[in-house]
């Protein structure tokens, strides 16, 4: 099964775009299944001033149109990752990429950024958690008669902003990062909450999302300028000797040992990465260049994963995970033997955003 899949998700036109009669600039063709095409119709003017449209075509592992629900995206793209978590050593991650307003947070956490009580289409995290706990109890029922230690879960949720980690399950407390002897980055003191059910997991996500979205004015809203990482770790009870405790840590103080990991990453808005010009304040430029660095590093890591497919070259390329805090923190996802990664690149359909959409499709394309 493939180590990496790259999918595109097109969101519907929003109320503002509909009321301004913005044309839909994207056509999705899924008839070429298992791969699918997306066509971008870019309006422009010829040299003589007459209006024209140029169509650009892109091929991806999957393309979801504006009618796709989060459940459909989950079933088609993410469920295989959750299944892979119940093999020892599974390292599964979902990255959502795209410009601000393209639907990243909707995809991962659902409408309204996954605030408690938000109506409608629950985010991918909720479908994933439902499957994780169903499969966990099945796995434990099989393990018990064979005297295998039970599996259990912890949840963590943090933001990576300006190269620093903020713990969303501890009122955004800043956390130190430290590289250990194996080259894994540890987040010292990151909150890890034991979760015994999908419901408990959802409560932790909602806690973190409330931290992300409330009490923030436009000026201090970091949600489009930070990467949000929600992580579920499956532990094997008492199998190890107590050791370091961090996000890369593989043994808990009680001796529980990492069995597998699942990471959901809602990336910073990609427009920040492109827009690193001279404008803005010093802080804005620092943010933009940090985002730029991490999104470029992510692209290189994903490219290296493509090349590591069974069909790829005999000598796989070096994975440049050290090039940013984001990729260094998620090193596992790129170098682990049993890593599986899905990238969902989100795009908006309005003609006014065509250049951003093309940038996103080029970023996600091979
Ligand atoms: P991002 O996180 O990329 O900045 P959001 O996920 O916040 O973007 O989405 C922007 C707006 O568009 C939100 O109001 C969201 O509810 C809406 N939206 C995004 N994707 C969809 C979708 N697939 N279906 C319906 N509404 C969507
Ligand atoms: Mg968002």
Q: Where are the domains of the chain?
A: 4-24+68-364
Question: Which of 15, 24, 65, 101, when mutated, tests ligand 1's pocket best, judged by the most ligand atoms within 8 Å of its CB?
Answer: 101
CA-nearest residue for atom 23, ligand 1, is 11
pLDDT of residue 229: 97
Q: Please provide the DSSP assignment of 303-365 as one string.
A: HHHHHTSTTS-SSPPP--GGGSHHHHHTHHHHH-TTEEEEEEEEE--BGGGHHHHHHHHHHH-
Task: Name which residue sits closest to atom 5 of ligand 1, judged by CA.
Answer: 103
Centre of ligand 2 from the C-alpha of residue 148, in Å: 41
Look at residue 130 in the predicted model and tell me its pLDDT: 96
Kindly state the tokens that stand for 56: 């650009």
β-pairing verdict for 4-10 and 339-347? parallel
Question: Mutate which of 106, 271, 345 to test ligand 1's pocket (most atoms within 8 Å of Cβ)?
Answer: 106
pLDDT at 215: 55
pLDDT value of residue 245: 47
Contact 335 CB / ligand 1 (< 6 Å): no
227 lines ligand 1 (CB under 6 A): no
Choose among 6, 2, 3, 63: nearest CA to 366: 6
pLDDT in tens, the chain (366 residues): 788 999 999 999 999 999 998 889 999 988 766 679 999 999 999 999 999 999 999 999 999 999 999 999 999 999 999 999 998 888 999 999 999 999 999 999 998 777 777 778 999 999 999 999 999 999 999 999 999 999 999 999 999 998 899 999 999 999 999 988 777 788 999 999 999 999 999 999 999 998 887 656 555 667 788 999 999 999 998 866 555 544 556 667 667 888 999 999 999 999 876 655 566 788 888 888 889 999 999 999 998 888 877 666 556 667 888 899 999 999 988 888 888 999 999 999 998 889 999 999 999 987
Fold of 4-24+68-364: Kinesin (3.40.850)
Q: What is this structure's pTM? A: 0.93
Residue 274's pLDDT is what? 61
- Cα separation values, 181 from 178, 185, 240, 331, Å: 10, 9, 17, 14
Does 16 show up as a binding residue in the annotation?
no
100 lines ligand 1 (CB under 6 A): yes
Edge-first strand listing for the sheet containing 26-29: 26-29, 36-45, 51-60
- Grouping H, G, I as helix, E, B as strand and the rest as coil, residue 259 is strand
Cα atoms found within 13 Å of the Cα of residue 88, Cβ hemisphere only:
8
Per the annotation, does 103 bind a ligand?
yes
CA distance 85 to 314: 27
Cα–ligand 1 centroid distance for 184 (angstroms): 34
Flag whether 105 is marked binding.
yes
């Amino acid at each position: 099964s493939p180590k990496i899949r790259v999918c595109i998700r097109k969101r519907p036109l929003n109320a503002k775009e509909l009321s301004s009669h913005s044309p839909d600039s994207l056509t999705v063709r899924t008839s070429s299944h298992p791969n699918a095409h997306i066509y971008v119709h870019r309006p422009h003017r010829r040299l003589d001033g007459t209006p024209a449209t140029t169509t650009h075509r892109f091929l991806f592992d999957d393309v979801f149109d504006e009618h796709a629900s989060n459940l459909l995206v989950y079933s088609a793209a993410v469920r295989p990752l959750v299944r892979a978590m119940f093999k020892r050593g599974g390292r599964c991650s979902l990255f959502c990429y795209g410009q601000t307003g393209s639907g990243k947070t909707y995809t991962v956490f659902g409408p309204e950024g996954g605030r408690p009580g938000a109506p409608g289409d629950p985010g991918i995290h909720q479908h994933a958690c439902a499957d994780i706990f169903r499969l966990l109890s099945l796995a434990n029922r099989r393990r018990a008669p064979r005297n295998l230690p039970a599996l259990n879960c912890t949840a963590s949720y943090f933001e990576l902003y300006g190269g620093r980690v903020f713990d969303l399950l501890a009122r955004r407390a800043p956390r130190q990062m430290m590289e250990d002897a194996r080259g894994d980055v540890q987040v010292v003191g990151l909150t890890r909450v034991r979760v015994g059910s999908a419901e408990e997991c959802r409560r932790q996500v909602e806690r973190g999302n409330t931290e992300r979205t409330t009490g923030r004015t436009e000026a201090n809203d970091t949600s489009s300028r930070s990467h949000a990482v929600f992580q579920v770790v499956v532990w094997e009870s008492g199998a190890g000797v107590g050791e370091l405790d961090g996000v890369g840590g593989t043994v808990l103080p009680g001796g529980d040992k990492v069995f597998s990991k699942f990471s959901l990453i809602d990336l910073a808005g990609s427009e920040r990465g492109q827009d690193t010009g001279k404008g803005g304040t010093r802080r804005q430029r620092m943010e933009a260049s940090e985002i730029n660095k991490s999104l470029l590093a992510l692209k290189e890591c994903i490219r290296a994963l493509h090349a590591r497919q069974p069909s790829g070259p005999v000598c796989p390329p070096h994975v440049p995970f050290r090039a940013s805090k984001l990729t260094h923190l998620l090193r596992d996802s790129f170098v682990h033997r049993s890593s599986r990664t899905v990238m969902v690149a989100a795009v908006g359909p309005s003609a006014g955003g065509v250049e951003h959409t093309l940038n996103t499709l080029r970023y996600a394309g091979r």
